[in-house]
Amino acid sequence: MSRYFFPQLEEVHALEPYRLRTRWSTGETLEVEVGDKLRSIPALAPILAPEVFATAHLAEWGGSVEWFDTEFGADNLYAWSKEQAGLPSHEQFDAWMRRNGLSLTTAAEALGLSRRMVSYYRTAQRPIPKTVWLACLGWEYLRLRTA
């Protein structure tokens, strides 16, 4: 049985409304702007107050960022921060696979990678190199163009 290891959130700091600096078990320090997410859900409106936002802290088990009884999961924060930094996220990679009807095996064949590496990228166990993401986009473009 394989185990799923997602990067663990180790530290969080509220920088300004509505930006967080996060440190991960991968050694990465990433920033993420969450204002749009907070504004999109009426129940999260209290967090929009700067003094409340500033209380952001790591949840007890490290799986999320909390404000009183509200939280954002670490997996979402990781994906959002990667995407905002212009880097591909595991969510984008998974969406690319689903959009193109690819299994781990067929995605590996399309990209010239091992099935295991595709699995690592899809589950955020390894960062997705820009060259791999560009290969995904190029493969999809050529597939759609010839369809």
Q: Which sequence spans correspond to the domains of the chain?
A: 9-84, 90-146
| Cα distances (angstroms) measured from residue 31 to each of 14, 18, 22, 99, 111 | 10, 10, 6, 28, 29
- Rounded Cα–Cα distance for residues 91 and 22 (Å): 18
pLDDT at 108: 97
For residue range 34-89, list pLDDT tens digits in order. 999 999 999 899 999 999 999 999 988 778 899 988 889 888 899 899 889 888 99
Mean pLDDT for all residues in the chain: 90
Global pTM value? 0.74
pLDDT at 133: 95
Instruction: Tell me the CATH number for domain 90-146.
Output: 1.10.260.40
Q: Residues 9-84: name the CATH superfamily.
A: NE0471-like N-terminal domain (3.30.2020.10)
